[in-house]
Amino acid sequence: MSPVLVVEGLCKGFTLHLQGGVSFPVLRGESLALMPGECVALAGPSGAGKSTLLRCVAGNYGAGAGRILIRHRGAMRDLAAADARLVREIRTETLGHVSQFLRVIPRVPALDIVAAPLLARGAGRAEARARAAALLARLNLPERLHHLPPATFSGGEQQRVNLARGFVAPNAVLLLDEPTASLDAANRAVVAALIREAKAAGTAILGIFHDSELRDRVADRLHAVDPLEPAA
Amino acid sequence: MSPLLEAEGLTLRFGALRALDGVSLALWPGEVVAVVGESGSGKSSLLRALSGLARPEAGRVLYRDAAGAACDVHALSEAERRRIARSDWGHVHQNPRDGLRMGVSAGANIGERLMAAGARHYGGIRAAAAEWMARVELDPARIDDLPRHFSGGMQQRLQIARCLVTRPRLVFMDEPTGGLDVSVQARLLDLIRALVEELGLAVLLVTHDIAAARLLAHRIVVMRQGRIVEEGLADRVLDDPQHPYTQLLVASVLAA
Ligand SMILES: Nc1ncnc2c1ncn2[C@@H]1O[C@H](COP(=O)(O)OP(=O)(O)O)[C@@H](O)[C@H]1O
Ligand SMILES: [Mg+2]
């Protein structure tokens, strides 16, 4: 078996032009590989760069140097060098990302936010909505909320919408950034089950889990992200 | 697949002012590209040069039609350019008065575009106009009202119906929410977002509203003083901006 995701020598830093152009590195030469069905947990103190690494893989942050190879349509494509159209295609078909916070879209109900990835892959509207509703129900989101835009939802409710959106369509690679931060025990158990099912279906998962119990239940191994000493 | 619209080295001067200074840009089928930057940065000049309304001093614009044939937009005769603009393109202006005929009814505003595209059957045209009024959330019962009796937000939705009724492949939008109240803007943006997605339109959207660009665009182009200073995937340009000017734009909005 060969990996679905290979990160090679990934470097990332930021230059804050509004703060007098101060520059600092966050990631220096990160490398890791994920096999289908494998779950790797990123470990490291707050501010070490775990979310930055996930966002680089998601294409949300540009890589400074290095390669981010992902198996897409049968070939390894370099996300670090991909143009906007290829990144969009990879996100639609291959790569899911559950960010820490849901980005709400005015007037779009929870159900349609969750159904969107299925529609983007060509599912019919009725089928997409039915699958979205079933997943939201599994995550214990009351049905009366399905038809409301999540702008007014609690943090935990928004997080469940975000999770449902990430799990509703199968992905070859799924990125999870603290998926259970504001969930109760019952919903954490649902998320653990969703992760195990996704793994069994072959999804490779790269995640940040603050909840060590969940991490022990789902992660096959840890990848340490060490904070960099600021350049002297 | 090839780009629908391809511009290379566009330069346009007004006296000493360089409105466009060597701008190159490609737009692909089904892609929504937002051009952002503060007023005076050259956004509207770019849109006018791309759609053939302003002739650049240097550079060229290629448009590829549905059959895949490419034409140089600025080498077309005025009649040819108008023909393509009628059959393939749509314009949504900031001021609905620039996109609507204020002296004829709402239904006629929509129907006129259809007739210009060759439709002749009166009943069918009226039915299509009513259907499009409903799609843009206007009451079809007001089909015979003059746009003058509509609110600004309603006029803007009527302009969108008039633009989209002929199913253009490419739509140019210049600050479509510009003159509207914030509450009305959100509804209009959502309507545009839904229609663009449903119809798979390619859109070139000029806006200084970063939140609108985040909501609608796949790709963002940042302009400053007639040049593109940064471009890329919409969420990346906004979340990991590289150029000092982009960082300033992003930092200046509350929560985009
Ligand atoms: N868009 C950004 N612009 C500037 N600095 C950023 C940006 N995103 C993250 N950082 C910085 O990168 C460092 C790592 O942050 P992060 O990846 O969120 O850490 P973790 O997830 O491990 O807690 C922090 O110093 C953070 O402030
Ligand atoms: Mg983090």
Model pLDDT for residues A118-143, shown as the tens digit of each residue: 999 999 999 999 999 999 999 999 99
Q: What is the pLDDT of residues B185-229, one digit of tens each?
A: 888 888 999 899 889 999 999 998 898 999 999 999 999 999 999
pTM of the model: 0.93
Tell me the pLDDT of chain A averaged across its residues. Answer: 95
Alpha carbon distance B83, A127 (integer Å): 41
Cα distances (Å, whole numbers) of residue B208 to B42, B172, B204, B221? 11, 15, 13, 11
Q: What is the pLDDT of residues A90-101, one digit of tens each?
A: 999 999 999 988
Hey, what are B95's tokens?
């001021």
Verify whether ligand 1 is closer than 6 Å to residue A48 (CB atom). Answer: yes
Alpha carbon distance A62, A49 (integer Å): 14
Instruction: Report yes or no: B131 at the A interface, CB cutoff 8 Å.
Output: no
Closest atom of ligand 1 to CA, residue A208: 21
Chain B contact probe: residue of A107, A118, A125 with most B CBs at under 10 A: A107
Work out the burial of residue B1: count CB atoms within 10 Å of its CB; fewer than 13 is exposed, 13-18 middle, 19 or more buried. Answer: exposed
Verify whether ligand 1 is closer than 6 Å to residue A50 (CB atom). Answer: yes
**pLDDT given for residue B14 in this prediction:** 87
A156 phi and psi angles, rounded to 5 deg = -65, -40
Verify whether ligand 1 is closer than 6 Å to residue A94 (CB atom). Answer: no
For residue B193, list chain A residues with Cβ-Cβ distance below 8 A.
105
Chain A contact probe: residue of B240, B243, B245, B249 with most A CBs at under 10 A: B240
**pLDDT given for residue B250 in this prediction:** 94
Taking 50 as the pLDDT cut, the residues of chain B under it are 256
The residues, any chain, with a CB within 8 Å of residue B198's CB and separated by 6 or more, are none
Alpha carbon distance B205, B171 (integer Å): 8
Handedness of CA A199, A201, A204, A207 (dihedral sign): negative
User: What is the interface size between A and B, counted as CB pairs within 8 Å?
Assistant: 47
Distance B221 CA to ligand 1 centre (A): 24
Q: Give yes or no for a contact between B9 and B57, defined as CB atoms under 8 angstroms apart.
A: no
Assigned superfamily of B5-88+169-255 = P-loop containing nucleotide triphosphate hydrolases (3.40.50.300)
Q: Give yes or no for a contact between A192 and A184, defined as CB atoms under 8 angstroms apart.
A: no
Residue among B236, B237, B238, B239 whose CB has most ligand 1 atoms within 8 A, to mutate:
B239
**pLDDT given for residue A1 in this prediction:** 82
Would you place residue A232 in the very low, low, confident or very high pLDDT band (cuts 50, 70, 90)?
A: very low
Alpha carbon distance A138, A146 (integer Å): 12
pLDDT of A230 strictly over 70 = no
The residues, any chain, with a CB within 8 Å of residue B177's CB and separated by 6 or more, are B156, B184, B185, B188, B189, B207, B209, B212
Average pLDDT over residues A171-187: 95
